[in-house]
Amino acid sequence: MEIAETMAMLVLIVLGATMGWLASILARTEAPGAILRQIALGLAVSVVAGGLANGGTMIGSLSFLGLGVALVSCLVALVLYHAIIRRKARA
């Protein structure tokens, strides 16, 4: 793996983990397991969406499109996660 590929993957990992952590703060999640689930969800969605938007590869580093898609898809996934969790809590 080249340094550009490694850095692109690290950017996606940090982006996803940070978005999951921020989502747990905004949702006022206090259970440690729930916080870790949100971080893991943000990380997984960010890496997959960023890789797909970047043409399925990280060769040549991460494009702005890949970064934007990773960010937006991570936000959407976390919003849906919280909507589902709140719906289950009400039922």
pLDDT, one tens digit per residue, over 12-39 is 889 889 988 988 888 888 788 888 999 9
Looking at residue 58, its pLDDT comes to: 63
In a 3-state reduction of DSSP, which class is residue 15?
A: helix
Looking at residue 47, its pLDDT comes to: 86
Residue ranges in the chain assigned as alpha helix (H): 3-26, 32-53, 64-90
Q: How far is CA 4 from the centre of its chain?
A: 20
pLDDT, one tens digit per residue, over 37-73 is 999 998 999 888 888 887 766 666 777 888 888 888 9
CA–CA distance, 50 with 66 (Å, rounded to integer): 5
Looking at residue 7, its pLDDT comes to: 83
Where does residue 29 fall: left (phi above 0), alpha (psi -120 to 50 degrees), or beta otherwise?
beta
Helix-helix angle 3-26:64-90, to 10 degrees: 30
Whether pTM exceeds 0.75: yes
